Amino acid sequence: MVPLLHRAARCGRGRGHSRRRLPPRRWIVVLLVFLMAGCGRMQPTGAPQDGFSLTMAAQPSPPVVGDGQLIVTLHDPDGRPVSDARLQVEGNMNHAGMKPSFGVITAAADGQYTVAIRWTMGGDWYVDIKATLADGRVIARRLPITVHVR
């Protein structure tokens, strides 16, 4: 059962939990705490504590089904643009059954990254953006966006 804790621990990542292994006896307590507390509730989409500003704008706006673009803007806590981050962009629909759309970075300058992405269906999407900074730090956000049908 201990390996299952990896799955459980994963949901706490954004909240500063560690993935440290717990003594085997305590797994059941941890499991119960997770179950009862509903650790897996929808992650808040508000700004995390890292101080970075990561925003996203769609082109066209509002986005429509088909090929589209996202303009991702990244600034450090002092408001300086960050242009040398390695970006991973993944769009997922809000409901089960649709495979993810992965964004392709086509340009980056002055803290702005142009990402080509294909919206495969109209509706609510979550865009997960992971920016790996030059010093190895990772800035991650999950941003909601609604895609319209043409």
- List contacts with other proteins (CB under 8 A): 3-4, 6-8, 10-11, 34-35, 38-43, 65, 92-100, 121-124, 126, 144, 146, 148-149
Residue 25 or 95 with smaller CB distance to other proteins: 95
Q: Which helix (H) or strand (E) holds 29?
A: helix 27-37
Q: Residue 2 Cβ, how far from other proteins at the closest point, in Å?
A: 9
Q: DSSP label at 62?
A: S
Q: Residue 36 Cβ, how far from other proteins at the closest point, in Å?
A: 9
Residue 4 or 138 with smaller CB distance to other proteins: 4
End-to-end CA distance of the chain: 48
Please report the beta strands in 53-111, taking only residues with DSSP state E, as ranges in sequence order.
Answer: 53-59, 66-75, 86-93, 101-102, 104-109
Q: Residue 19 Cβ, how far from other proteins at the closest point, in Å?
A: 11
Residue 45 or 83 with smaller CB distance to other proteins: 45
Residue 84 or 124 with smaller CB distance to other proteins: 124
Residue 79 or 150 with smaller CB distance to other proteins: 150
Q: Residue 100 Cβ, how far from other proteins at the closest point, in Å?
A: 5
Distance CA 147, CA 150 (A): 9
User: Look-up: residue for tokens 């797994």?
Assistant: 27
Q: Residue 148 Cβ, how far from other proteins at the closest point, in Å?
A: 8
Residue-wise burial string across 15-43, b where 16 or more C-beta atoms lie within 10 A, e elsewhere:
eeeeeeeeeeeebeeeeeebeeeebeeee
